[in-house]
């Protein structure tokens, strides 16, 4: 049994769940739609170029849920996953997960989005185990802050190594699937890196290193 690790946004789904949730918060009236979504777009462009400080994005994107209870947010995320996320799940991604499961591999999603989104999406994909950015809550109420190491770039490796130690697992024979240059540190660490609908920088790395380049729909 080996690990099969998957990035989430633009790898398993055709979109970025954090930005899609920003749109949902605008629909809910939690934010000033026009200004908030413009800023979200600017930050996501920086992310695509590998220039984003993830702390900046999380501070921005979590502000609207500060002061809201875990139950309130969960109650609104569930139908959003069904209505918005489920239609953009790649069929090829589901088939790939199923193939790994058939081989007896252990499936893990590791994402630079928040646990409040990644958990319900992973459940919808039938994946029980995931690592994502942890959100701080006090007495069942979100503070709008994160805690712990953010699962972004090298932080994905830090959190994964902690998880491997805790689970008494290792990376022998592991696969990792991602679309983004931001995941190069982890792609370079596994035995079987795969790039999915990659950005230009990642595609070049994949071609140079002879990694499989997958076009998922």
> Is 7 one of the catalytic residues?
yes
> Is 56 one of the catalytic residues?
no
Q: Return the C-alpha torsion angle 200, 96, 125, 33, nearest 10.
A: 20
DSSP secondary structure string for all residues of 144-204: EEE-S--SSTHHHHHHHHHHHHHHT---TT-EEEES-GGGHHHHTTSSEEEEES--HHHHH
Which are the contacts of 90, defined by CB distance < 8 A and separation ≥ 6?
12, 13, 14, 216, 217
Helix, strand, coil percentages for the chain (3-state, nearest 5): 50, 20, 30
Question: Degrees (nearest 5) of the Cα angle 70, 106, 193?
Answer: 100
DSSP 65: G
| Catalytic residue (one of 9, 16, 40, 199) | 9
Cα(7)–Cα(86) distance, integer angstroms: 16
Give the start-end residues of each E strand in the chain. Answer: 3-6, 106-114, 130-133, 135-138, 141-146, 175-178, 192-196, 213-214
Contact 7, 214 (CB under 8 A): no
| Catalytic residue (one of 7, 16, 40, 179) | 7
Q: Tell me the catalytic residues.
A: 7, 9
């Amino acid at each position: 049994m080996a690990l099969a690790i998957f990035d989430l946004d633009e790898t398993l789904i055709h979109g970025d769940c954090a930005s899609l949730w920003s749109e949902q918060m605008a629909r809910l009236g939690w934010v000033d739609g026009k200004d908030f979504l413009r800023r979200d777009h600017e930050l996501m462009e920086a992310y695509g170029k590998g220039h984003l400080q993830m702390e900046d994005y999380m501070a921005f994107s979590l502000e609207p849920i500060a002061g809201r209870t875990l139950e309130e947010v969960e109650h609104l995320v569930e139908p959003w996953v069904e209505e918005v996320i489920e239609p953009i799940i790649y069929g090829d991604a589901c088939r790939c997960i199923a193939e790994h499961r058939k081989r007896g591999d252990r499936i893990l999603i590791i994402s630079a989005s928040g646990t409040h989104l990644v958990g319900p999406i992973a459940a919808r994909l039938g994946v029980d185990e995931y690592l994502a950015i942890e959100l701080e809550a006090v007495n069942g109420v979100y503070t709008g802050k994160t805690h712990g190491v953010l699962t972004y770039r090298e932080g994905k490796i830090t959190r994964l190594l902690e998880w491997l130690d805790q689970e008494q697992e290792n990376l022998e024979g592991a696969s990792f699937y991602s679309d983004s240059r931001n995941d190069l540190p982890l792609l370079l660490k596994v035995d079987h890196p795969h790039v999915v609908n990659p950005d230009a920088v990642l595609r070049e790395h994949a071609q140079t290193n002879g990694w499989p380049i997958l076009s998922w729909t």
